[in-house]
Amino acid sequence: MNNPIDILILSNGPGELATWVKPVVIELRRQLGDDRAQVRISVVLAPCANASGQEVEIARRYPEVDRIQGADHFLPFLLFGKTQADWDWRDRGVVLFLGGDQFFPVVIGKRLGYRTVIYAEWEARWHQWVNRFGVMKPEILTRVAPKYAHKFAVVGDLMAEAGGSVGDEESRGDIQNSKFGSADSPEAKIQNFSTPPSPTPISNSPIIGLLPGSKPMKLMLGVPLTLAIADQIHQQRPDVQFVIPVAPTLTLEDLATYAHPDHNPAILRFGWATGELVMPEDERSLPYLKTPAGVRVTLWTEFPAYDVLAPCSLCLTTVGANTAELGALAIPMIVLIPTQQLDVMRAWDGIPGLLVNLPGIGSKIAKLINWMALQRIGLLAWPNIWAQREIVPEMVGKLEPAAIAAKVLHYLENPTLLDHMRYDLQSVRGETGAAKKLVQLVCEELQVQQG
């Protein structure tokens, strides 16, 4: 490479960082090299209604990235080109859009004099001002004027690469046969928390993953609900183990508050389970939540959590990017959308987002908007959206722990049903290679700029 270059990635929420940015920055380094004097990767975050405030910390976990700026400082950068740390910019570069508003790379690319590449999941905009588009599906091309068609390439679904090679059957087998066979492995540590000790070998003891979410509105219902489900399952199958892959935006103490009735009124209101945070003195043991019924739910804090998710027989999860990650890993799941407390669901964009957060009347407006949305609800989990049919169950309504536990037990007692779900997930998750194809577009634009 003759002259040093900058790759500026624009993104926004935690889902985009985990499922889009992560595989792309890995591929950027693979194709462009790890010489930071030649290729510098910067991530600038835009405001997002689903942001947790920990996006900068998530991005810092990616060693491929050199510089990160949080969403709080996005507006001055968009309007005036000034970053908080007064970054310098090289003469050559590409602005790569991986989340936010597609108009942002138009403005920023023009100011920096960089080429622009947009990853378009469902819709591509600003055709005349953007240099290249990598789109998820060919259907997007039907809405493109012929004079702009040369700018478009179908790259596939970045979310299909959320789990990387862990989603492959061979890789999953390697993980289970090697890492999880050791005394220090995730599966062995989870096994230590079985109550009572499992009478069956580790490989035959089912693990249920619990993914209650990462934001307060989901955690308020998701944590006590999934703990209550674990209690119900434990009554029938004491050998079943449970694990929560803790979102990187949460501390263990924060998570535990949602399992405590003094901090979470939903527990007493709906009669769901509580949990006490236990931090073992043995540093080789994992922390866990312990319910009054004696069930221990292991807390896994490594991110990403693919190592502990891979051996799960089944996961109970909320909607969101986590369904895409589980789908990419071909892990069977049941998607839970409890509607007991509609007023806590306030993650709306635009005018609805402003209305539901108004003091005094915001709660009533939130209930109305969410009720209207649920009446028109369709497929919610990403694998179901991909397949345009329900291949993983979506349970919507005033959910009861006993009913969900019965459904889980039915799957565990009928493993062929889990096999069918796993097969369907493998068939719809899409081919890998989207990150590679998208980065190839970036490289082509760099060559155009050099010429």
What does each C-alpha distance from 450 to 44, 74, 92, 118, 400 come to in angstroms?
24, 29, 8, 20, 61
Report the alpha-carbon distance of residue 208 to residue 234 in Å, rounded: 11
Report the alpha-carbon distance of residue 337 to residue 398 in Å, rounded: 8
User: 5-156+433-450: CATH homologous superfamily?
Assistant: Glycogen Phosphorylase B; (3.40.50.2000)
Q: Which residues contact 308 (CB under 8 A, 6 or more apart)?
A: 186, 187, 190, 209, 243, 245, 300, 302
With a cut of 60, say whether residue 256 has pLDDT above it: yes
Locate 203 and state its tokens.
């490989």
Residue 337, beta-bridge partner list? 396
With a cut of 60, say whether residue 431 has pLDDT above it: yes
DSSP category for residue 287: P
Report the alpha-carbon distance of residue 95 to residue 106 in Å, rounded: 9
Report the alpha-carbon distance of residue 369 to residue 173 in Å, rounded: 45
Model pLDDT, residue 94: 96
Over the stretch 204-223, which tens digit does the pLDDT of each residue have?
689 999 999 888 888 999 99
Phi, psi (deg, nearest 5) at residue 138: -65, -20
Residue 126's Cα: distance from chain center in Å? 27
Between these two residues, 153 and 181, which has the higher pLDDT value?
153
Q: What is the mean pLDDT of the chain?
A: 82
With a cut of 80, say whether residue 285 has pLDDT above it: yes
Say which residue the tokens 């991530």 belong to: 43
With a cut of 70, say whether residue 355 has pLDDT above it: no
Model pLDDT, residue 199: 33
Specify the pTM. Answer: 0.68
**Proportion of the chain above pLDDT 90, given as a percent:** 52
With a cut of 80, say whether residue 247 has pLDDT above it: yes
Q: pLDDT-based confidence at 418, cuts 50/70/90? A: very high
Over the stretch 40-89, which tens digit does the pLDDT of each residue have?
999 999 988 767 777 888 899 899 999 999 999 999 999 999 999 999 99
Q: Which residues contact 432 (CB under 8 A, 6 or more apart)?
A: 156, 160, 161
DSSP category for residue 47: P
Instruction: Among 18-22, 33-37, 104-108, 226-230, name the one with the lowest average pLDDT.
Output: 18-22
Between these two residues, 18 and 222, which has the higher pLDDT value?
222
Minimal CA–CA distance to 15: which of 44, 63, 50?
50
Residues of the chain within CATH 3.40.50.2000 domain(s) are: 5-156+433-450, 164-428
Model pLDDT, residue 38: 95
With a cut of 60, say whether residue 181 has pLDDT above it: no
Locate 62 and state its tokens.
């990616």
Model pLDDT, residue 182: 40
Model pLDDT, residue 377: 56
Q: Which CATH architecture has domain 164-428?
A: 3-Layer(aba) Sandwich (3.40)
Model pLDDT, residue 19: 83
For residue 100, the SS3 value is coil
